[in-house]
Amino acid sequence: MLHVEKIKPLTKEFLESIGFYWHTDNDNTSYVADELVLVSNEEVEAYYEAANELYDMFAQAGQYVIDNNLFHELNIPFNLVELIKNSWENDVHWHLYGRFDFAGGIDGKPIKLMEFNADTPTSLYETAIIQWAMLKANGMDEAKQFNTVFEALKENFKRLVVLGGDTEDFSHYYEGWKILFSSIRGNIEDENTTRLLQSAANEAGFHTDFAYVDEVGFNQEGVFKGDENFEYWFKLIPWENIAIEEGDLALLLDEIVREQKAIILNPAYTLLFQSKAFMKVLWDMFPNHPLLLETSFEPLKGQKQVEKRAFGREGANTVIYERDMSVIEQTEGEYGNFKPIYQAYVELPKDSEGRSYQAGVFFAYEGCGLGFRRGGLIMENFSKFVAHRIKD
């Protein structure tokens, strides 16, 4: 059984003073739990190694998808295919960060990958800043946490310039390039997550600016805020949304990237990794790998399983089936038009009250931070963020 310890929660006033405004859910309960998951050094090391090994597997499988033209199988919008190929083939399109969602790892059960949020992962602010502040506010050693997220992001911003080289050499290669950071107007969570990334880029040594998406200009010459041209554009907007809702923009971004007028973060190829259908490709390439769950485009025979959509967020359009395909639990949502995939069911770790915990491990060149979500059988938008502490 998973072990948690109660702590004194951070006040709403303090959270808002550091830019964290999404602290209370719609049912008026706190989004950030007043407890810590206790983990061992060995468990942390296992999460770190799992993230690193899986990323290497994702890279191999990504090449396989491109070589075999499997975009349709992954439900990739057709108007992004060329952009994905172009971003994949050139090393300057560096993957900035993502988040692996894991079952197991803290209760003697093996770590199993559920999915990889590679394009626009949330809970970055919570993992990087809030859980560190929780230890500090409770008089605990803030080093007792698997949480180097902010430093890892700073280093990975430098790799946009040095690529595979030494980040110590950043100043030798950097030529004053600028990054424009954008989120959707009116979404404070997305905006502050984006501004946190902007802060990391500033500390890395870039010139940066922020603009809401509706303020950004695009043409054949690149990405602009007013008259100012930017070499990099970070957008906290899912690639599939751009493809489906802004088709003209998708085609223009393809041209901008192809003509090397700007580099977009995260790169378009992260949509391959984001697609839950990618789990089927991984299973085909690495059958019975200890970190993977069996995944298929058809219902699994005689197994308890989960139906998900290739693209979907916050647990929407998810169904858990018993072995006889009777429904145990399901959620509605707006992603029903995307392709279904079927993944072997895995039990999440539970605390003494029977609440389930899902681990999230951020990846920025390497595994760099751990946080948990607590909820029911399906993690959804009322699931709580739970910080952690490494046991002495």
Rg for the chain, CA atoms, rounded: 21
DSSP state of 126: I
pLDDT-based confidence at 379, cuts 50/70/90?
Answer: low
Coil vs helix vs strand at 251: helix
Nearest in space to 361 (alpha carbons), one of 119, 102, 85: 102
Domain ranges across the chain: 4-274+350-390, 294-344
In this structure, what token pair is assigned to residue 224?
Answer: 């602009």
| pTM, entire model | 0.95
In this structure, what token pair is assigned to residue 7?
Answer: 């702590």
pLDDT-based confidence at 331, cuts 50/70/90?
Answer: confident
Task: Please give the pLDDT value at position 18.
Answer: 82
Question: Rounded to an integer, what distance in angstroms lies between the CA atom of residue 39 and that of residue 391?
Answer: 6
Q: Convert the pLDDT of each residue in 107-136 to its tens digit.
A: 788 999 999 999 999 889 999 999 999 999
β-pairing, 384-390 vs 32-39, is parallel
Mean pLDDT of 313-335: 83
Task: Please give the pLDDT value at position 209.
Answer: 97
Residue 350 has pLDDT above 70, yes or no: yes
Question: Rounded to an integer, what distance in angstroms lies between the CA atom of residue 153 and that of residue 27?
Answer: 33
Q: Convert the pLDDT of each residue in 219-249 to its tens digit.
A: 999 999 999 999 999 999 999 999 999 989 9
Among positive and negative, which fits the CA dihedral 240, 245, 250, 251? positive
Are the C-beta atoms of residues 143 and 153 closer than 8 Å to each other?
Answer: no
Mean pLDDT rounded to a whole number for the chain:
92
Task: Please give the pLDDT value at position 136.
Answer: 93
Residue 285 has pLDDT above 80, yes or no: yes
Are the C-beta atoms of residues 329 and 371 closer than 8 Å to each other?
Answer: no
Task: Please give the pLDDT value at position 31.
Answer: 87
Mean pLDDT of 174-183: 92
Question: Rounded to an integer, what distance in angstroms lies between the CA atom of residue 80 and that of residue 90?
Answer: 16
Structure-model confidence comparison of residues 197 and 377, the more confident one: 197
Q: Convert the pLDDT of each residue in 57-113 to its tens digit.
A: 999 999 999 999 999 999 999 999 999 999 999 888 999 999 999 999 997 889 999
